[in-house]
Amino acid sequence: MSFPAYETLLTDLADHVLTVTLNRPQVLNALNSQMARDLIDAWSRLESEAVRVVILTGSGDRAFCAGGDFKERDGMSDEAWRAQHALFERAFEAIIDSPVPVMAAANGHAFGGGLEMVLAADFAYGAAAARFALTEVTIGIMPGGGGTQTLPRAVGGRRARELILTGRPFSAAEALDWGVLNRVCEPAGLLPAVRETAQLIAGNAPLSVRQAKKSIHNGLRVDLHTALRFEIEAYNRLVSTEDRREGIRAFIEKRKPVFRGR
């Protein structure tokens, strides 16, 4: 499986792990219209069994993503602004609805839409010096890439209100303590740690991982009893798979299973 040469992204697929790197370091990987188009296209290609996990990171060591590219937006009509934002919405939703797990590796600061990308991922690791913020209310807008929904789900409603309504930045240590990050690493150790976890996930049964992710994702939207029924439906779809038979056979034979996504 191959990906096109994107204008704003770098892609690398190895051992079922796809690394997507935001690649506009000259503007701190700020999100523009082309990056949104590139993200939408990249995520549209994830149905293939060749990709089992995605790592989303940024180029350079200063920023994961500084947010929206306001130089591009300077002078935009209201109509053009809304049309561009519709592109951004599709990009964020593509990450949230990804059929495979997405790990964010926040190699540097993540502000505005950059933090919303981190929050759109299934979970995230971050560099120790990285800082995070949803600063939109300080410039006359508000989070519009899912931040008013994903941040409360990560940190709780009361803390999310404080962070969003003040626009105050917070540290990687606070992000870890509050649930935005799963792990904080020194810069040199960030991608090795993310890749180690990604390889653990990629080594598991891919259909099982997809169904488990789908069950968690949808279960959080509904009441517990409805979520439990969804879980069993997802579980039962795995019973007839070749991977289920291979996994049980390998367990009995005390060997590593060979999963084929079938």
According to CATH, the superfamily of the domain at 9-202 is 2-enoyl-CoA Hydratase; Chain A, domain 1 (3.90.226.10)
Two tokens, residue 150: 């994903």
- Interhelix angle for 78-96 vs 113-120, to 10°? 30
Percentage of the chain beyond pLDDT 70 is 100
Catalytic residue annotation: 116, 136
Q: Where are the domains of the chain?
A: 9-202, 206-253
Domain 206-253 belongs to what topology? Lyase 2-enoyl-coa Hydratase; Chain  A, domain 2 (1.10.12)
Summarised one tens digit per residue, pLDDT across range 52-103 is: 999 999 999 899 999 999 888 888 899 998 999 999 999 999 999 999 999 9
The predicted model scores a pTM of 0.92
Q: Count of alpha carbons within 13 Å of 115, Cβ hemisphere only? A: 33
Summarised one tens digit per residue, pLDDT across range 16-48 is: 999 999 999 999 999 999 999 999 999 999 977
Q: Where are the beta strands (DSSP E) in 33-159?
A: 53-58, 63-65, 102-106, 109-111, 123-127, 131-133
